[in-house]
């Protein structure tokens, strides 16, 4: 029997969604509500990512997720779609997170041409805080040591740093660029050893939301880290802070896209 979740999260089976389903996207800060509006938004992402393919499935106690890989202007981009269910087994909430930021910027430019509302970077009048009920925070799992050949699939970089000697300082810089990390959920990837963590953290006073997927090698070390973020405008703050800390370590090939020293996206 085929898995119905990927189709539902691509907007292809609206009946899998609750009538009052809500959607948080990687680009737009406010949630979108209602089955028709959510299905249409999911369909727009599906179309612009040129037929995204499922690469990873994640399962948790109350949520399931799918990682999609697609392309925009010939460059690879990824989205993780996190589904929450109601008592009837329908999807009541969907949260989309994207990576990497430079190619999500290309997606935003394409989105602005077909549906400007989905590309709106406005964070509101004050510090951005996600909508919805206050979550029940959980503990972050212990993270095993990094493998010598670890690869980081960053939410902000256009190339992948590799090797413990490089990835370690990048992660240290990230820890200096946010505060108040809290964990919403922990999920398990299917068919591989590791775990995924759904996180809220503060960046320049705004909440940045992340999904971090840790894949372990045969020795139980972290061999791969894949990080997705939302919303786009807060990740712009994070990228700018990270550039200041990493410009001497990572060359220009890692900073493709909008100038990391330029002005932040205007509402």
Q: What is the arithmetic mean of pLDDT over 161-185?
A: 97
As beta bridge partners, residue 78 has: 69, 99
Q: What is the arithmetic mean of pLDDT over 4-27?
A: 95
CB 95 within 8 A of CB 89: no
Output the pLDDT for position 2: 59
Share of the chain above pLDDT 70, in %: 99
As beta bridge partners, residue 95 has: 24, 82
pLDDT in tens, 109-160: 999 999 999 999 888 888 999 988 889 999 999 999 999 999 999 999 999 9
Reported as type and span, the H/E element at residue 154 is none
Rounded to whole angstroms, what are the CA distances from 67 to 76, 227, 253? 13, 11, 25
Q: Which residue has tokens 């430019």?
A: 109
Lowest mean pLDDT among 79-83, 92-96, 127-131, 179-183: 127-131
Rounded to whole angstroms, what are the CA distances from 191 to 58, 64, 195, 203, 204? 10, 15, 11, 33, 37
Output the pLDDT for position 48: 94
Q: What is the arithmetic mean of pLDDT over 88-112?
A: 94
Single pTM value for the model: 0.96
CA within 13 Å, CB half, 240 = 15
Rounded Cα distance between 94 and 106, Å, is: 22
Q: What is the arithmetic mean of pLDDT over 24-30?
A: 95
* Closest alpha carbon to 82 in 108, 55, 58, 100: 58
pLDDT in tens, 28-83: 999 999 999 999 999 999 999 988 999 999 999 989 999 999 999 888 999 999 99
């Amino acid at each position: 029997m085929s898995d119905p979740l990927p189709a539902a999260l691509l907007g292809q089976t609206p009946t899998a969604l609750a009538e009052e389903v809500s959607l948080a996207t990687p680009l737009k800060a406010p949630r979108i509500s209602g089955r028709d509006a959510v299905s249409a938004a999911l369909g727009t992402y599906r179309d612009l990512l040129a037929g995204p393919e499922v690469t990873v499935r994640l399962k948790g106690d109350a949520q399931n997720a799918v990682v999609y890989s697609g392309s925009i202007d010939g460059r690879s981009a990824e989205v993780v779609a996190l589904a929450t269910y109601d008592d009837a087994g329908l999807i009541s909430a969907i949260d989309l997170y994207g990576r990497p930021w430079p190619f999500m910027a290309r997606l935003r430019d394409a989105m602005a041409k077909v549906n400007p509302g989905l590309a709106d970077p406005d964070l509101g009048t004050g510090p951005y805080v996600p909508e919805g009920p206050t979550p029940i925070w959980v503990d972050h799992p212990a993270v095993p040591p990094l493998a010598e050949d670890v690869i980081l699939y960053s939410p902000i970089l256009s190339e992948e740093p590799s090797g413990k000697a490089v990835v370690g300082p990048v992660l240290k810089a990230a820890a200096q660029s946010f505060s108040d990390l809290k964990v919403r959920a922990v999920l398990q990837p299917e068919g591989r050893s590791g775990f995924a963590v759904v996180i809220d953290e503060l960046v320049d006073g705004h909440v940045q939301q992340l999904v971090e997927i840790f894949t372990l090698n045969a020795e139980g070390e972290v061999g791969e880290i894949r990080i997705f973020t939302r919303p786009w405008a807060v990740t712009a703050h994070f990228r700018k802070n990270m550039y200041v800390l990493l410009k001497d370590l990572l060359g220009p090939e890692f900073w493709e896209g909008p100038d990391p020293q330029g002005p932040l996206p205007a509402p």
